[in-house]
Amino acid sequence: MKLAIVVGTRPEIIKMAPIIQILRRREIDFSYVLTGQHYDFELSTQFLKELGLPHPASTLMLKNSSPASQIAEIMTHLDPILSELESTLLLIQGDTNSMLAAALTGVKLGLQVAHVEAGLRSYDWRMPEEHNRRMVDHVSDILFAPTPVSAKNLTDEKVHGKVFVTGNTVIDAVQLYSTESCCSDIMRRIPFSEFCFATLHRQENVDEPKVLRQLVAVLTEMSIPVVMPLHPRTNRRLHDFGLHEKLTSSPRVCLLPPLGYFDTLLLMRNSKFILTDSGGLQEEATAPSIRKRVVLMRSSTERPEAVDSGFVRVAGVDKENVLLTINRVIGSSGHELPHTSPYGDGRAAERIVDLILSERGSRVPKG
């Protein structure tokens, strides 16, 4: 059996890294493709080097930016690439346009499709990721659900593929690279002794002037200084809506360029808490080596396990409610968080590789 792996964004690289490392250690034949979906292709390739991953068998440089055109472009490129690799199983992770394009291409080429991090649901149709993850799950033959909650979502929807609960590979990645992250010198660039680590990039947040204006007000008015790497999409919208100077002129806001994985891990570990609209950070915050509370600037989450275990509080995007939630989180710092993550014990990648080997060739009939 030869595996084909497709990754498109930096979070996908991070979550697939533990699986790739195990495949290499066990000398299992695989090739992987980098679609280059991310806004900064060079930074994505630097991520590969930072995480000690081999060079991709193929890389794509996408020209289109609209979702439909991007998916079509990826499929057009992937068809001959995957055919030439002569793989029998396609392994994908997550819910981006790249993963939807890869899944559909794999189905049309007659490959088994295995989906890592299957079954997440926000039930918020405004999120492009919600469309993608639902479609990917329903065309996949093997579904690796990170938690029993996500597995139940899949069985409730009567997906045709086989469902397995494995844990989330993001916890594996945090454990795998925590020691190396200490080599980062990012803390020398932080002018605060105590700070909140923030990220902001969701389309439904930054593309809406009214919402972005409220969230910028949160960043400048909260009672603790903020350190925030600035996503290029967010940076463009801040300039478009005349909000950029409000952030840069605030002495309590430290803006940084996009960061590497080691820098991000170290900033999360040293922060007072995390303020974000990200999905992955909700999971990483629960890792035993990080264990930070998260204030989520969204009205819904596809990671309810992080909420139920006390790590995440969903604050919405109204300024007053987000500030109130932040103050409550700061006031609850004396209440201890769990020492284990609801997303597993850091052995998800091993389980996934074992299941791939045991399930190879056992295709579930379509329909």
Q: Are strands 58-59 and 226-229 parallel, antiparallel or unpaired?
A: unpaired
Q: Letter for the amino acid at 311?
A: F
- Residue whose C-alpha is closest to residue 27's, from 48, 7, 1: 1
Backbone angles phi and psi of 93, in degrees to 5: -140, 130
- Collect all residues with Cβ–Cβ distance below 8 Å to 69 and sequence separation of at least 6: none
Q: How far apart are CA 279 and CA 255, in angstroms?
A: 21
C-beta of residue 20 within 8 angstroms of C-beta of residue 47: no
Q: How far apart are CA 285 and CA 270, in angstroms?
A: 12
Q: How far apart are CA 325 and CA 120, in angstroms?
A: 25
201 as an active site residue: the answer is: yes
- The CB-side HSE value for 336 (13 A sphere, CA atoms) comes to 4
Which neighbouring-strand residues pair with 267? none
DSSP state of 263: H
Catalytic residue among 115, 201, 231, 244: 201
Q: How far is CA 243 from the centre of its chain?
A: 27
DSSP 50-84: HTTPPPPSEE------SHHHHHHHHHHHHHHHHHH
DSSP state of 95: S
Q: Letter for the amino acid at 252?
A: R
Q: How far apart are CA 43 and CA 261, in angstroms?
A: 11
Q: Maximum distance among all alpha carbons in the chain? A: 60
- Collect all residues with Cβ–Cβ distance below 8 Å to 152 and sequence separation of at least 6: 119
Determine the 3-state secondary structure of 130 from DSSP.
Answer: helix
- List residues with catalytic annotation: 201
